[in-house]
Structure 1
Amino acid sequence: MTDTRTASARPGGSVAPGAAASDVSAPDSPAPEIAVRLFAGAAAEFGADEATVRARTVGELVHALTAGATPEATRVIGRSSLLVDGVACTDHRRALAPGTRVDVLPPFAGG
C-alpha cells in the first residue's frame, strides 16, 4: 500500500546566486506552489511521499525542503536526483512555474 500522506515544506530561500531576472517571477509576487513527490529514502525521512513547496527556482525548492529538516533528511535531499517535469535537473537556477512537478529520487540499491 502506498503512503499518500502529504507534507508542506516551509517556503524560503532567496534566489540562487547567478539567477537572471528573467529566470524568476517578480520578487513582489508570491512564489508558485510546486508539487514535490518524494521517493524511497526521501519519503521515509520526511514521513510523506508528497509535499507542496513555494519556490521560484530549484535552489529555493531544495532550501525549502531542507530548512528545519533533520540532518539525515538534508543528506538524503543533497544526494538525490531531481526531475523537473520528468527531466533530470542539476541547475539550481532553473525557474519553476505554477503546475511544475518535481520528483526527488534518492540513490537506489539493487537492480
Structure 2
Amino acid sequence: MNVTVRYFAGARAAAGVEEEPATAGTLAELRSQLADAHGDRLEKVLTACSFLVDGVAARDFEAPLPSGGTVDVLPPFAGG
C-alpha cells in the first residue's frame, strides 16, 4: 500500500527528511524498508519509536496499512 511517512523530532533528524512516500503492506515491512533506506542511525531510532497510522496508535505491526494513509514516526519525548 502507498502511504506517507512523517517523521518527528529525533526520527526526522535520523531520516534526514520531514516526510516521504513509501509502499509497504504492513508496519513491520515499512520499518524494515525505512531502516534499509536510511541506514543504522534511523534503524536505532525506530526501535524506540511509537507509530500512528492515520492518527491512531499502531501496536499490531502485522496489520495491513491503509492505502493512501499516513504513518507518523514518533520517538520518545521528554518533558511535560
With normalisation by structure 2, the TM-score equals 0.92
Rounded Cα–Cα distance in structure 2 between residues aligned with 1:36 and 1:68: 13
Higher strand fraction (1 or 2) = 2
User: What letter is aligned with 1:42?
Assistant: A
The letter of the residue matching 2:41 is E
Q: What residue in structure 2 maps to residue 57 of structure 1?
A: 26
1:101 aligns with 2:70: yes
Structure 2 residues not aligned, in runs of 5+: none
1:77 has 2:46 as partner: yes
For 1:68 and 1:58, locate their aligned partners in 2 and report how far apart those are by CA, in whole Å.
Answer: 15
Q: Deviations over 1:41-83 (max 9, x none)?
A: 0001111110111101111111111114332211111110000
> Partners in 2 of 1:37 and 1:68 — Cα distance?
15
Q: Distance in 2 between matches of 1:52 and 1:78?
A: 20
Greater Rg by CA? 1
TM (normalized to structure 1)? 0.68
**Where does residue 35 of structure 1 map in the other structure?**
4
1:44 aligns with 2:5: no
Shift >4 Å, 4+ stretches: none
Structure with the higher helix share, 1 or 2 = 2
Unmatched 5+ stretches in structure 1: 1-31
Task: Provide the aligned length of Structure 1 versus Structure 2.
Answer: 80
